[in-house]
Amino acid sequence: MSLFNMGEKAYLMLADGQVFEGRSFGAKGTVIGEVVFTTGVTGFQETLTDPSYYGQIVTQTFPLIGNYGVNSQDNESAKSYVSGYIVREWCNAPSNFRCEGNVNDFLIEHNIIGIHNIDTRRLTRIIREVGVMNGVITTEDVYAKKDELLEKIRAFSVRDAVRSVTNSDTLTYTPDEKKFRVVLFDFGYKRNIRQELVKRGCEVIVVPAYTTAEEVKAIAPDGIMFSNGPGDPAENVEIIDNIKEIEKLGIPIFGICLGHQLMALANGGKTEKLKYGHRGANQPVIDIESGLTYVTSQNHGYAVIGDSIDPSVGHVSHINANDKTCEGIRYTSVNAFTVQFHPEAHGGPLDTSYLFDDFVKTMSKK
């Protein structure tokens, strides 16, 4: 069966009224979200289960998705958080020794509405030139409801993102040989962050996003990890206030992605929304101290404004080689360092996994 003949008709409409006609896959219905693109060649299952994509319709720029299938081991969270999914083609006959199913069935299982057989190259060019914009995927007649849908699209925004993805329970993960105890804040964390810590002998206590300094102190950790997560970082006023108190505990801190942004905001820095963000596994980052350039995995639409960090508080440690935005901060006022990219990078690359070793060394010195 031809890929282009599979599924009923589906539509993608952007906030400016442009309509893409394609074919439906995954679940049926209508969904509104912020349309973004990611450049990863592999790691589509990790993308689908990354909580940082909450509220977003994700476009894969690589033209064929699903050729190695899905499995039960590569999920980054317990469910899929993307609002919708856009691909050029999906593979209905995946082949890999770890394969347990195909991407279409995965989307149906997680109730994710998808569209394929559209020009994803053209769509990506629009987002790059205009910037991210809201859109709708629907299996209904988009033209019959165009004005109504456009009104809803333009009114949409991603709100309460962290509150929507964080777990309300505290969970403990213990390695065979325990060396350290780390509190991992769940702002929408990816499982491989936890696994990288456990692999290095850390007992990981995963706590809800709104855990206070007093609650952290009662756990008596050797280190604190602020995780990745979705949404506008400045929206999280309560968490930012908590971080200000958590810093006073004097416990080593490592922040990733949203954790990096929240830490900057707690220390007087500012954030900004990027035109179309950094999403994919091929983002070049320069380590200013060593001069080395690393290939990194990233997924964010906001960035810390490097110049907004007071020199008495810390300094920019990494920058993006493409647009020179801030990719890391080393703090001098507190025992902490943070990065915008993902050193755990389950789908690769693994260039910056050494940062977990640096975190362990910091805890050892303490």
Listed by start position, the domains of the chain span 3-158, 162-365
Quote the pLDDT of residue 365.
85
Quote the pLDDT of residue 1.
39
Please list, in sequence order, all residues whose beta carbon lies within 8 angstroms of the beta carbon of residue 283, skipping any fewer than 6 positions away.
295, 296, 297, 298, 320, 322, 341
Q: Which stretch of DSSP H or E encloses residue 148?
A: helix 146-155
From the list 89, 196, 257, 327, the catalytic residue is: 257
From the list 116, 278, 300, 342, the catalytic residue is: 342
Closest listed residue to residue 320, CA positions, set 243, 260, 253: 260
Quote the pLDDT of residue 7.
78
Segment 148-168, tens digit of pLDDT: 999 999 999 999 999 999 999
Give SS3 for 362: helix
How does the average pLDDT of the chain come out, rounded?
Answer: 96
Regarding the domain with residue range 162-365, which homologous superfamily does it belong to in the CATH classification? Answer: Class I glutamine amidotransferase (GATase) domain (3.40.50.880)
Cα atoms in the Cβ-side hemisphere of radius 13 Å centred on 70 = 24
257 carries an active-site annotation:
yes
For the chain, residues with pLDDT lower than 70 are 1-6, 366
Quote the pLDDT of residue 2.
43
Quote the pLDDT of residue 5.
41
Please list, in sequence order, all residues whose beta carbon lies within 8 angstroms of the beta carbon of residue 113, skipping any fewer than 6 positions away.
24, 26, 27, 28, 29, 30, 31, 83, 84, 85, 107, 137, 138, 139
21 carries an active-site annotation:
no
Q: Residues 306, 316: contact at Cβ < 8 Å?
A: yes
Residues in the chain: 366
- For the whole prediction, is pTM greater than 0.75? yes
Arch. (CATH architecture) of 3-158: 3-Layer(bba) Sandwich (3.50)
Quote the pLDDT of residue 110.
97
Q: Which amino acid is at 19?
A: V
99 carries an active-site annotation:
no
- Phi, psi angle pair for 23, to nearest 5°: -120, 150
From the list 34, 247, 327, 344, the catalytic residue is: 344
